[in-house]
């Protein structure tokens, strides 16, 4: 019978600190907050509001919020209004404290 060699104990894995990925998560949260803000501003400005003539009917009314959200996300990806950067910096300071 062949003896099975004894293997050394596995080394403990060191956990990756949460703050390593925190900047990416904070940036993503800041971008989402800016997009939500911009979507509400577009709604207040009347973007996606059905037209009086030749409107798209009930479907247009129901899906106009999706259009505003998509437009807001594109605005953020194109640089936004600077709100995401301010939010990111504020959250980063708060995280470090």
Q: pLDDT means per 10 residues in the chain (97 residues)?
A: 68 57 86 95 82 66 86 94 92 79
In angstroms, how far is CA 48 from the centroid of its own chain? 22
What are the structure tokens assigned to 52, written together? 């009086």
Question: How much of the chain is helix, strand and coil, in % rounded to 5?
Answer: 65, 0, 35
**Residue 22: its pLDDT value, please?**
76
> Would the pTM count as exceeding 0.75?
no
The candidate with the shortest Cα–Cα distance to 34, out of 90, 79, 89, 76, is 76
**Residue 47: its pLDDT value, please?**
77
The answer to whether the CB of 64 falls within 8 A of the CB of 49 is yes
How long a stretch of residues is the chain?
Answer: 97
**Residue 63: its pLDDT value, please?**
82
């Amino acid at each position: 019978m062949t003896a099975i060699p004894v293997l050394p104990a596995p080394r403990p894995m060191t956990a990756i600190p949460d703050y390593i990925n925190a900047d990416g998560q904070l940036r993503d949260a800041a971008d989402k907050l800016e997009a939500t803000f911009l979507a509400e501003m577009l709604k207040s400005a009347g973007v996606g509001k059905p037209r009086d003539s030749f409107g798209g009917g009930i479907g247009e009314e129901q899906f106009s919020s999706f259009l505003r959200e998509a437009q807001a996300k594109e605005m953020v990806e194109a640089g936004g209004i600077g709100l995401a950067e301010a939010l990111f910096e504020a959250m980063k300071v708060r995280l470090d404290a």
